[in-house]
């Protein structure tokens, strides 16, 4: 059984292509007819999205970080509100992390 990566490590992985030409290309491939590409955020967040994710992770308690793959919707919304970030994007980020943890365990 593999060891679960931390939420900070998952954030670093998400940051790899933030703001890069490759990241923009990935996002354009997954964009809907309005130009939105929320799911692509897990692979290539914009620099603004990345900063929001960093702010949210920075204010998490140690217990929240340890159990980030099992946060409730209410916890995610409260965290988003406290960090002043988009709740939808934060939920996508934590859901992606939860799926990642389930995949590697």
Assess whether pLDDT exceeds 60 at residue 62: yes
Q: Number of folded domains in the chain?
A: 1
Tens of pLDDT, residues 12-26? 998 998 888 888 887
pTM score? 0.84
Look at residue 1 and tell me if it is in a domain. no
CA atoms of 82 and 26, how far apart (whole Å): 30
Look at residue 2 and tell me if it is in a domain. no
The pLDDT of residue 80: 97
Cβ proximity of 64 and 10 under 8 Å: no
Range of the domain at 72: 7-104
Close Cβ partners of 9 (under 8 Å, ≥ 6 residues apart): none
Burial class (CB in 10 A: 0-12, 13-18, 19+), 1: exposed
Cβ proximity of 85 and 56 under 8 Å: yes
């Amino acid at each position: 059984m593999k060891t679960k990566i931390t939420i900070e490590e998952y954030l670093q992985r998400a940051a790899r292509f933030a703001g890069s030409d490759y990241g923009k290309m990935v996002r354009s491939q997954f964009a809907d007819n309005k130009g939105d590409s929320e799911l692509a955020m897990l692979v290539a967040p914009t620099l603004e999205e990345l900063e929001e994710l960093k702010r949210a992770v920075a204010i998490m308690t140690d217990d929240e970080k340890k159990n980030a793959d099992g946060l409730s919707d209410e916890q995610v919304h409260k965290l988003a509100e406290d960090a002043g970030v988009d709740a939808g994007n934060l939920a996508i980020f934590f859901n992606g992390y939860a799926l990642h943890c389930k995949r590697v365990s």
